[in-house]
Amino acid sequence: MAILAERYVHVIGVDTHKRSLTAAVLNSIGGVLESCEVPANAVGHAHLLAMAAGYAGPMLWAVEGTGSYGASLTEQLVGAGHVVTEVDRPRRPARKHGKSDQIDAVRAGREALAMKQLNPPRRRGAGAAPRAPSDEGGVGEDENGPRQPPPKAGRDELGNFAAAVP
């Protein structure tokens, strides 16, 4: 299966926050062509769309937090016919030298270029995808419908056990 870099000429990685969006335009081999920080509102969205219009060829938007801080941008992009993929926020230890939103935007774009398939954007307020049923007794469904988690030993069970011991 081919990676997305073979299907798109440009990717725009977006690091999302409550009040700002940082975007980086990358070519298909991950080179940074342009980056900017805009407010997380309609004016900022319009600026990003205008920036994207300056690039020709198939374009992919790699947005962090499509179901939370990136929801409004994602809705506007999808409504305008752009291709958007969800990119997970990086899991990393606390930084010693601060944070760089531009680095995170570039990382989002490069991560998308290496993907084999698109991750559909989450809807506003939607959490992680539901888990598949497992044979480990977790919550899920089997042929009889929803399964319940295995009972945990609680205080009452231990109390009853202690009362039964002479």
Structure confidence at residue 130 (pLDDT): 40
Q: Where are the domains of the chain?
A: 4-114
Run of H or E including 18: none
User: CA–CA distance from 76 to each of 20, 24, 48, 145 (Å)?
Assistant: 16, 18, 11, 38
The SS3 of residue 91 is coil
The SS3 of residue 34 is strand
Is pTM, for the whole model, over 0.85?
no
Task: Tell me the residue type at 86.
Answer: E
**Mean pLDDT on 29-58:** 96
* Assigned token pair, 7: 């299907």
Tens of pLDDT along 54-76?
A: 999 999 999 998 988 999 999 99
Query: What is the CATH code for 4-114?
Result: 3.30.420.10
Cβ-proximal residues to 113 (8 Å cutoff; 6+ apart), any chain: 3, 4, 5, 8, 11, 26, 28, 29, 30
Tens of pLDDT along 107-163?
A: 999 999 999 999 888 776 545 444 333 333 333 444 444 444 444 444 445 555 455
Tens of pLDDT along 16-32?
A: 999 999 999 999 999 99
